[in-house]
Amino acid sequence: MATQLIQDKWSGAISTVNIGALKEEGGSRSQVIKIGGEQSLPCLFKEGAIPNKPVIAFEVFDVAPDDWPQELVRPYSDVLSDPFAWAEKCVKTYKAKILCVRLMGAHPDSGDKTPDEEAKFISALLKKVDVPLVIIGSGDDAKDNQVLPAVSEAAKGERCLIGSAVQDNYKTLVGAVSADGHSIIAESPIDINIAKQLNILISDMGLPIERIVINPTIGALGYGLEYAYSIMERARLAALSGDKTVASPFICFAGHEAWRAKEAKVSVREFPDWGQEAERGIIWEMLTATALIQAGADLLVMRHPKAIEKVNGYIENLWKGA
């Protein structure tokens, strides 16, 4: 007797968020990146539409990072001190479709750049590259409250994705992105209830759900990935069941988390049985990213070009069966 395949049908859907604005839309980007829109769980193509593939953004800093391991530095060693050249290399050499710019130079401990300096930097970067931008603050809430509104205004009309808004610090950023036509990243600490509440708070300020992307906060392989996976899965199940307050696409910072892991960067001299770090770090980032795709990640922020190449190939293979 043949086994009958049971398929679920869902009443809800994930909102579609557009990143980047074309010239005819008031921007200057060469394309618009669409994320979200799913009507089924990840990769279950027969249960509902999955109109948009997961997308990978190359991460670029406005200052040279001082904590990257050597293997991660190597592909960018000729451009790390020049963020414009770094961004152009990602686009021209590695064919990046979207960039995630981290304004680390604004952090009080990493240069303490002024809001005006960062706004001028983003304005110049938008002239150097024509791909859509994700713009991330330095992680210092007080400074980001000054810098991100200025950056938002500098990129007005380009429909960037800007973050991050957190439960205790969201009003200033929501006001800025609302006025300037951008979308926002809502960050919650691996907690579905906080993610839901933050989306409600942001929506109450007038920003449509179609302009909110959830950063659920993830861990790398071996560093909380399983817990992050379960939280993402619960949120996606709730959204597909009709809860619009969590029906937002996910952004996951896979590169940031993976390359912080000891296994990704420790020297082979210290742990000879672990193999060469040149390969190990790339694999750590790849496995973290592919697991997050299975959990429902819509936009992955990654770092090593080889890892990105492999994960892009993985995405293409998954979607062949669509």
Domains of the chain (ranges; CATH) run 16-320 (3.20.20.20)
The yes-or-no verdict on residue 4 having pLDDT over 70 is no
Mean predicted confidence (pLDDT) in 186-204: 95
Question: What confidence tier does 170 reach under pLDDT thresholds 50, 70, 90?
Answer: very high
The yes-or-no verdict on residue 6 having pLDDT over 80 is no
Task: Record the tokens describing residue 110, joined without a space.
Answer: 């990493």
**Placement of tokens 């790398």 in the chain:** 220
The CA–CA distances, whole Å, from 219 to 51, 183, 260 equal 27, 24, 10
Backbone φ and ψ for 17, nearest 5 degrees, come out as -110, 130
The yes-or-no verdict on residue 1 having pLDDT over 80 is no
Question: What confidence tier does 220 reach under pLDDT thresholds 50, 70, 90?
Answer: very high
Mean predicted confidence (pLDDT) in 150-158: 98
Q: With the CA atoms of 292, 298, 300 and 301 taken in that order, what torsion angle do they form, in degrees rounded to the nearest 10?
A: -140
Mean predicted confidence (pLDDT) in 251-271: 89
